[in-house]
Structure 1
Amino acid sequence: ALRKWDKVSLIRKSLKDKQMKKNPGYSWIEISKRVHVFRAGDDSAPQCEAIHKSLEVLYSLMAKEGYVPDPREVSQNVEEEEEKRRLICGHSERLAIAFGLLNTEAGTPLQVMKNLRVCGDCHEVTKMISKIVGREILVRDANRFHLFKDGTCSCKDRW
């Protein structure tokens, strides 16, 4: 990712002036023949509280492995680092993965679809989650398939 977030507000203003809208990011996962859709920061999702608790446990385990959220991946005009970290930790693919972990048998592979490209921080997080929970996690983003297994990705971190 180029991380040219300083240009984002200018581009968004230009889009607004032209009455154009950015496609919102969302992810979905199918469990028991039912599709569950998640949007970044969505607090209305089913099992929202359990999802966030599950992610907090995972973030705690990842922090012990040296993980620190990368606030450069936040595309909103936010000054405070803590707020940037909170926003990035609520990306849609993370919510879908946590939901999948809560609603499938241990060891079951997960498959998540995403309408946009996965950000670098979510890519790192998904690698770590795959290692911590011992599961394969397939994420199809706008560009490619990523198969996360044992802390690595099939794209070899080139996407």
Structure 2
Amino acid sequence: MQLFEQMQREGVRPNKFTFVQVIKACAAGLGRLEDGRLVHEQLIQSGCESNVFLENSMVDMYAKCGSIEDACRVFNKMPARDVVSWTVIILGHVKCGQGHKALKLFRQMQQEGVQPNSVTFVGVLNACASVVALEDGRCVHQQIVECGWDSNVFVANSLVGMYAKCGSIEDALRVFNKMPFHDLVSWNAMILGYVQFGQGQKALELF
């Protein structure tokens, strides 16, 4: 941010690449919401705002800074939205504890014909877990299989965690056993699932 300010004092005009990096800096720092709003104002004045990459960055920044209202405002004004746009707004709602709204946005995304990617699915599964929406989780699982993302370790880990948090340890184990390989997150999710269900002996065996 200091370099960004110095750059402008020296008369060098920022371009869209500069803005993307500065917005990322605001998203990465705690308490950077006001800085983000100032950058947003400069972005509007520069005429670069209609760029989809910049708009996606703004949505992400506002969500990560805790202002889901500002994130929605930018998102709703976008003339065109891609899978990244939908994914960042879904993840933003999950982060802010609004799982039901995240699921509603996911359905709206599909109605508009935008295909989810692995990150979208991870966000939606986290939304299902946060509101204990088991049936919604099963529907999402079916879509994941149809799209071929079930072999992705990040998606599979999220499936294990979702099923465990939604009260179906059997489904969690079924997904876990079908995974081609397990990383630390996979093992942790399954062990914690058993602990949550009071099955300490199985958790120890798995460990």
What's the TM-score, normalizing by structure 1? 0.32
Which one has more relative contact order, counting CA pairs under 8 Å at least 6 apart? 1
Which structure: greater strand fraction?
Answer: 1
Which structure: greater helix fraction?
Answer: 2
